[in-house]
Structure 1
Amino acid sequence: MKHLPAPVVKILKDKLIRLRDDASNEACIAESRGLQFLDTKDRETLDRVERAEAWREAEIDKVEIALDHATARAADVALQRIADGSYGVCQDCGRAIAWVRLLALPTALRCAACQQAYERSHGQQ
């Protein structure tokens, strides 16, 4: 983390805290929305279209909740890396991750080159 100036680390840390908190809040909102639906809708009174729409919305909420939890976890990992001094160091090659990359994606674990190689080897584009 020596390659990152202290003001940049502060900006990134604040950004990560906001990211974690926003993701956690979004997950809570989506979770409560699902619970409200169960409390306020009598499933027997819904027609097929309404049930299908309700099911679709519930499935979307599940995915959004999972993504929000993953984002919050990634932000926590990055904050721990700041605390232990390993933040901004590529976990694959050990070189510094460009601070402009970290500003754009503060949860990045790899430099751009290693991330590209990782995605190629794991079938992601």
Structure 2
Amino acid sequence: MTVQLNEQQINAFNNRLKQRYLELRREISADLLRADQEQYSDLAGRVHDTGDEALADLLVDIELASITRQVQEIRDIDAALLRIAEGGYGECSDCAEPIALARLEAYPTARRCIVCQEAHDRTHMHDKRSTM
């Protein structure tokens, strides 16, 4: 059974989301600085071995993918903080039912209850398969 979140729970999630936001900002800054210092693409340009060049390209791609995931998480946190400010945090964006506390504990940026999220995932997985 799901119940509405009380003010204390919402405040706890608000603080947790803001803390994670700050952590992500630090991680992104550190990743960008490290990537700038390492300059894998420059390394690839100086290396004449195709295996080393491929490794350098792979490292650049991995770094960019990591930063992309972090930026997406920041966007999700921003959206969750907006829902808190507007009074809709913990409410499913699809069915308007409360999202289970256990789900929010595991995934504080959740927009949907588990039932609606599973339906959303099935729909989007089908969409991705049809474009392949």
Report the TM-score, using the length of structure 2 for normalisation.
Answer: 0.83
Asked if the contact 2:44/2:52 (under 8 Å) is kept, the reply is no
How far 1:31 moved relative to its partner?
Answer: 1.5
Structure 1 runs, 4 residues or longer, greater than 4 Å off: 41-44
Q: Within 1, Cα distance between the matches of 2:46 and 2:58?
A: 17
1:15 corresponds in structure 2 to: 16
- Of all paired residues, the percent bearing the same amino acid is 30
Query: Structure 1 residues 43, 117: closer, same or farther in 2, change over 3 A?
Result: closer
1:52 CA drift (Å): 2.1
Instruction: State which drifts further: 55-64 or 2-11.
Output: 2-11
Unpaired segments of 5 or more residues in structure 2?
127-132
Aligned counterpart in structure 1 of residue 82 of structure 2, from 75, 80, 83? 80
- Aligned AA for 1:19? R
The alignment status of 1:112 with 2:106, answered yes or no, reads: no
- Which residues of 2 match residues 56-75 of structure 1 at below 5 A? 56-75=58-77
Counterpart CA distance in 1 for 2:43 and 2:105 is 47
5+ residue gaps, structure 1: none
How much is the aligned-residue C-alpha RMSD, in angstroms?
2.0
Highest relative contact order (Cα 8 Å, sep 6+), 1 or 2? Answer: 1
Pairs aligned (count): 122
Q: How big is each residue's C-alpha offset from its partner over 1:32-83, in whole Å with a ceiling of 9 and x where there is no partner?
A: 12111229x5555434233222211110011000000000110011011101
